[in-house]
Chains A and B, each alone.
Chain A
Amino acid sequence: MRQKKKNKIYRQPLPNRFVHWGVAISIIMLIITGIGQMPVYGRYLIVQPFGTKWLTSYEITLLVHYFFAATLLFFTTYHIVYHVMKKEFDIWPKKGDVKGSYLIIKAMILGQKEPPSEKYLPEQRIAYLYFVISIGLVIVTGVIKVIKNIMGVQPSNGILFWGAQLHNLATVMVILGVVMHLAAFIVKENRKLLPGMFTGYVDEEYVKERHSL
């Protein structure tokens, strides 16, 4: 149950944090094990770091990959159904977000005062769309890959080739997205958002200053 805290604003309810961290852990593990299914760890690592031997086994990385694919599907479906039922679409991009992002980034670089924002900054909404596209593509191609692995299912050579190529492309897109997501915290102004994803609360002062709309 949410408790009122002095000088704090409740920004990220428990379901948001549950989905955020569930998706984050799933994606990190999917990237690690997915790379394990590529010619990488067992091929180029001359010295195997302690505790990573399992990553060179195709069978183990495949099973762990399936496990986290299931958790990613669980959390993404949860996210969609929960917010559609609650009719919450604050993070969905709006008209003028590209220009809005430009103005905010320009203000950050030049040290000027940022234009006021809603709950989410325009660039956060654009970043969300980027993740929808890249995670969406990785999920669709991933599900095709799971179905084709079922015994008795014989997909065409084209499905196998394009399914793999697009899954790999989407993986690269997701990795770039994660890097950009983390790089956002290099900017000092964004760091005040961080406690929101741990405790749910952010400073009231920060909200008044930046999210006044």
Chain B
Amino acid sequence: MHCLDAPCQKLCPFGVIEKTKHGAVKIDENFCMGGAKCRAVCSWDIPQRQAGVGLYMQLVPELAGGGVMYKCDMCADLLKEGKSPACEAACPKGAIEFGPYEQIRKKAYERAKEIGGFIYGDVENSGTLTLYVSDVPFDKIDEAIEAKKKEENDTRFGRPHMKSEVENMLETTHGYMLATLIAPIAGAAAAGITAYKVLSGQKKKEGGEHCEAKEEK
């Protein structure tokens, strides 16, 4: 998956997940610390720990060979050479197509209409660049995935669901973000009122003392 508003990219505590010019969400394996926070915030647990890559291999390969986080980067190295991503080239059915987003999106909707099918990935998690087209409803596909996992007692990461209700964590925390940005205004207003009261109290007191001093004279 390559989300339009990717929580993994925005919430990485080290800021080492980038978006390539093709829109791919790419983890910089040389800077990733392997904390798996990207996986924690991903609706599909897409980023996975990849053994044998990353920073720790340079530092303590024996102890930290477990590697850092890794995910599909749309074969950024192949795209750089003007080649197709490996999955598109290798798919025996020619079922994977890579291209400019709007073009692919238009094609996906046309294909879905043609087969009376469904699309997955266009609205889920507030939209992704990876679109799936199927004549089987994705709820049914998800049920099948879950049933298979249950049957195999598979609780490991790396086998994403295809649930239709997928919320983006950035959306669920939106209210908190706004509260954070409004807080300084509230602080300034509270300080303004307090300072004004204290200052006017001081003036009144000084005025009173001044009058008393005059009367004494």
Contacts and interface: CB of A to CB of B under 8 A. Distances in A.
A161 B18 CA distance: 9
Contacts of A143: 180-181
A152 B6 CA distance: 10
Interface string B28-72: 000001111100110000000000000000000000000000000
A160 B18 contact: yes
A168 B184 contact: no
A165 interface: yes
Contact of A66 (B13, B180, B191): B180
Interface in A59-75: 59, 62-63, 66-67, 69-71, 73-75
A107 B92 CA distance: 82
B82 interface: no
Contacts of B13: 37-39, 164, 168
Contacts of B171: 151
B191 A39 contact: no
Contact of A73 (B5, B10, B35, B187): B187
A198 interface: no
Taking residues whose C-beta sits less than 8 angstroms from the other chain, chain A's interface range is 35 or more
A58 interface: yes
A85 B195 contact: yes
B12 interface: yes
A149 B11 contact: yes
A58 B184 contact: no
Given A71-B183, A74-B187, A85 B196 contact: yes
B136 interface: no
A30 B181 CA distance: 16
Nearest to A59: B169
A165 B14 contact: yes
Contacts of B198: 15, 86
A14 B168 CA distance: 43
B177 interface: yes
Interface in B172-210: 173-174, 176-177, 179-188, 190-192, 194-196, 198-199
B180 A69 contact: yes
Given A58-B40, A151-B171, A164-B13, A85 B199 contact: yes
23 contacts: A39-B34, A66-B177, A66-B179, A69-B180, A70-B180, A70-B182, A73-B183, A77-B191, A78-B187, A78-B188, A78-B191, A81-B192, A81-B195, A146-B180, A149-B170, A151-B5, A151-B174, A154-B5, A160-B10, A160-B12, A160-B17, A163-B15, A168-B14
